[in-house]
Structure 1
Amino acid sequence: MKKHLLILILLLFQSSFSKSITETQKLAATCKVWGFLKYYHPNVADGNFNWDEQLFKILPKIEEAKTDVEFSNVLEKWINSLGKVKPYKAEISNDEIDYFDKNFDLSWTQNSELFSKSLSQKLKFIEQNKIQEKQYYVERGTEFVNEVEYDLFDDKDKNFRLLALFRFWNYVEYFFPYKYQMDQNWDLTLIEFLPRTINPISENDYFLSLKEISAKLNDTHAYFGANKLFEIYGWNSVPFEFKFIENKAIVTGFKNESLSALNDIKVGDVITKVQGKTIDILIKENLKYAEGANYPAQLTRLEWPVFSQKSNVAEIEFLRDGKIGVKEINFYDYKDLKINYENKSEKYNFLEDNIGYANLAVLTPDEVPAMMEKFKNAKAIIFDIRNYSQGTNFAIAEYLNPEPRNFVKSMDADLSSPGRYIWRKEDTPCGKMNPDYYKGNVILLVNEKSISHSEFTAMTLKVAPKATVIGSQTAGSDGRSYRFQIIKGLWTSFTTYGVFYPDKTEVQRIGIVPDIEVKPTILGIQQGRDEVLERAILFAKNGKK
Structure 2
Amino acid sequence: MQFRYFILMTFCLAAFIRSTAQQVSKSTAYTAPIQKTLSAMDAYDRAQQARSDANDLWEKKGATGLEIEKGITILKKAVIFLDSIPVNELANGNIYLKARRNDIYLDMAQAYALANQRDSALTSLENMFALGEPSGVLNYIQKNPSLASIRTESRYLAVINKMKMQGELWENTALNTSYKNDLTLTEKIAGLSLLWSQAKYNFVYFDHLSNDWNQTYLDYIPKVQTTKSTAEYYRVLMNFYAQLKDGHTNVYPPDSLSTQFYSRPPMRTELIEGRVFITEVSSDSLYKAGVQPGLEIVKIDNEPVIDYSDRVVKPYQSSSTPQDLEVRQFTYGLLSGPKEKPIVFQLKDKMGKITERTAARTGYHDIKSKKSLEYQTIGNVGYLTINDFENNRINKNFDSLYTQIAATRGLIIDIRYNGGGSGNIGFNIISKLTNKSFKTSASKTLQHTSRPGDEPRWEISKPYDWAANGKIYYDKPVIVLIGPRTFSAAEDFAVAFDYMKRGKLIGTATGGSTGQPVPFNLPGGGSARVCGKRDTYPDGKEFVGVGIMPDIVVKKTIKDLQSGKDAAKEKALEILNKGK
The aligned residue for residue 423 of structure 1 is: 460
The one-letter amino acid of 2:460's match is W
Quick check: 1:294 aligned with 2:317?
no
Relative to structure 1, is the Cα distance of residues 532 and 474 closer, same or farther in structure 2, using a 3 angstrom cutoff?
A: same
Are residues 494 and 539 of structure 1, via their aligned partners in 2, closer, same or farther at CA, if it must alter by over 3 Å? farther
Q: What's the CA shift for 1:477?
A: 1.5
State how 1:58-73 maps to structure 2 within 5 Å. none
Counterpart of 2:243? Answer: 216
Q: Name the counterpart of 1:21.
A: none
Letter of the 1:358 counterpart: L
Higher helix share: 2
Asked whether the 8 Å contact 1:245–1:522 carries over to 2, the reply is: yes
* 2:377 matched residue in structure 1: 350
Partner residue of 1:381?
411
Amino acid in the other structure paired with 2:89: N
Superposition pairs for residues 189-208 of structure 1, below 5 Å?
189-200=216-227, 206-208=233-235
- What's 2:351 paired with? 322
TM-score normalised by L of structure 1 = 0.67
- TM-score, with normalisation over the residues of structure 2? 0.63
Q: 1:95 is matched with which residue: 90, 101, 110?
A: 90
Query: Where do residues 77-476 of structure 1 align in structure 2 (5 Å cutoff)?
Result: 93-95=88-90, 97-98=92-93, 133-134=131-132, 144-148=170-174, 149-152=176-179, 155=182, 157-182=184-209, 184-200=211-227, 206-226=233-253, 237-261=264-288, 263-285=289-311, 286-302=313-329, 303-304=332-333, 306-308=335-337, 312-333=341-362, 336-338=363-365, 340=367, 342-344=369-371, 347-352=374-379, 354-361=380-387, 364-376=394-406, 378-388=408-418, 391-414=424-447, 419-424=456-461, 426-432=462-468, 438-476=474-512
Give, in whole Å, the separation in 2 of the partners of 1:407 and 1:232: 38
Show the 5 A alignment for 1:487-506: 487-506=523-542
Q: How far does the alpha carbon of each residue in 1:94-143 deviate from its partner, in whole angstroms, 9 at most, with x for none?
A: 3274599xxxxxxxxxxxxxxxxxxxxxxxxxxxxxx9752779999x99
Measure, in 1, the Cα distance between the counterparts of 2:430 and 2:465.
10
Q: Specify whether residues 338 and 464 from structure 1 end up closer, same or farther in structure 2 by C-alpha distance, changes over 3 A only.
A: farther
**Equivalent AA in structure 1 for residue 409 of structure 2:** K
For 2:343 and 2:572, locate their aligned partners in 1 and report how far apart those are by CA, in whole Å.
40
After TM superposition, give the deviation of residue 383 of structure 1 in Å: 0.8
Cα distance change on mapping 1:345 and 1:486 into 2, 3 Å: closer
CA 1:135 to 1:189, structure 2 compared with 1: closer, same or farther past 3 Å?
farther
Q: In the aligned structure 2, how far is the partner of 1:249 from the partner of 1:227?
A: 30
From the superposition, tell whether residues 233 and 374 of structure 1 become closer, same or farther in structure 2 (CA, over 3 Å): closer
The 1-side partners of 2:378 and 2:557 are apart by 23
Q: CA deviation at 1:240?
A: 2.1
**Paired AA for residue 209 in structure 1:** V
- For the structure 1 residues 430 and 137, does the alpha-carbon distance in structure 2 shift closer, same or farther, using more than 3 Å as the test? closer
- Is the 1:368–1:395 Cα contact (8 Å) retained in structure 2? no
| Partner AA of 2:204 in structure 1 | P
Q: Given that residues 249 and 528 in structure 2 are in contact (C-alpha distance below 8 angstroms), is that contact kept between their aligned partners in structure 1?
A: yes
Shift of 1:199: 4.3
Cα distance between partner residues in 1 of 2:525 and 2:469: 51
* Cα offset, 1:382, TM superposition: 0.8
User: Number of residues paired by the alignment?
Assistant: 419
Q: Quickly say closer, same or farther: Cα 1:230–1:529, change in 2 above 3 A.
A: farther
**Structure 1 residue 295 displacement after superposition:** 1.9
Shift of 1:338: 3.9
Q: 1:469 to 1:300 in 2, by over 3 A?
A: same
Structure 1 residues 476 and 138, CA gap change in structure 2 (3 angstroms):
farther
Identity %: 19
Per-residue CA deviation, residues 40-84 of structure 1 (Å, 9 max, x unaligned), is: xxxxxxxxxxxxxxxxxxxxxxxxxxxxxxxxxxxxxxxxxxxxx
The question of 1:522 aligning with 2:555 is answered: no
Task: Say whether the 8 Å CA contact 2:437–2:467 is kept in structure 1.
Answer: yes
Amino acid at match of 2:548: I
8 Å CA contact retained: 1:315, 1:326: no
Give the 3 Å change call, closer, same or farther, for CA 421–345 of structure 1 in structure 2.
closer
Is this contact kept in 1: 2:254–2:527, CA < 8 A?
no
3-state SS, counterpart of residue 244 of structure 2: coil
Could you list the runs of 5+ residues in structure 2 that have no partner in the other structure? Answer: 5-82, 96-128, 139-166
Distance (Å, rounded) in 2 between the aligned partners of 1:209 and 1:266: 34
Q: CA deviation at 1:384?
A: 1.0
Are the structure 2 counterparts of residues 528 and 327 from structure 1 closer, same or farther at C-alpha, using a change threshold of 3 Å? same
Answer yes or no: is the 8 Å Cα contact 2:439–2:464 preserved in 1. Answer: yes
Residues 455 and 478, structure 1, Cα contact 8 Å, conserved in 2: yes
TM-superposed CA distance for 1:356, in Å, is 1.7
Q: What is the letter of the counterpart of residue 277 of structure 1?
A: E
Alpha-carbon contact 2:484-2:510 (below 8 Å) kept = yes
Q: SS in structure 2 opposite 1:529? A: coil
Letter of the aligned partner of 2:441 in structure 1? V
Tell me the amino acid that sits aligned with residue 396 of structure 2: D
Alpha-carbon shift at residue 166 of structure 1 (Å): 1.0
1:340 deviation in Å?
4.6
Residues 429 and 98 from structure 1, CA distance in 2 versus in 1: closer, same or farther, beyond 3 angstroms? same
| Other structure's SS at 1:358 match | strand
CA deviation map 1:261-297 (0-9, x unaligned): 2x21111011111122111212322322111111221
Distance in structure 2 (CA, Å) of the matches to 1:330 and 1:367:
36
Cα distance in structure 2, aligned partners of 1:138 and 1:173: 23
- CA distance 1:300–1:337, change in 2 (3 Å): farther
Q: Distance in 2 between matches of 1:204 and 1:251?
A: 29
CA pair 486-413 structure 1, distance change in 2 beyond 3 A:
farther
The amino acid of 2:132's aligned partner reads K
Q: Secondary structure at the match of 1:224?
A: strand
1:365 CA drift (Å): 1.0
Match of 1:477 in 2: 513
Q: Which moved more, 1:428-437 or 1:531-540?
A: 428-437
- Match for residue 28 of structure 1? none
Q: 1:246 to 1:184 in 2, by over 3 A?
A: farther
SS at match of 1:259: helix
Residue 114 of structure 1: aligned partner: none
Q: 2:255·2:525 contact (CA, 8 Å) conserved in 1?
A: no
Instruction: Give the secondary structure class of the aligned counterpart of 2:306.
Output: helix
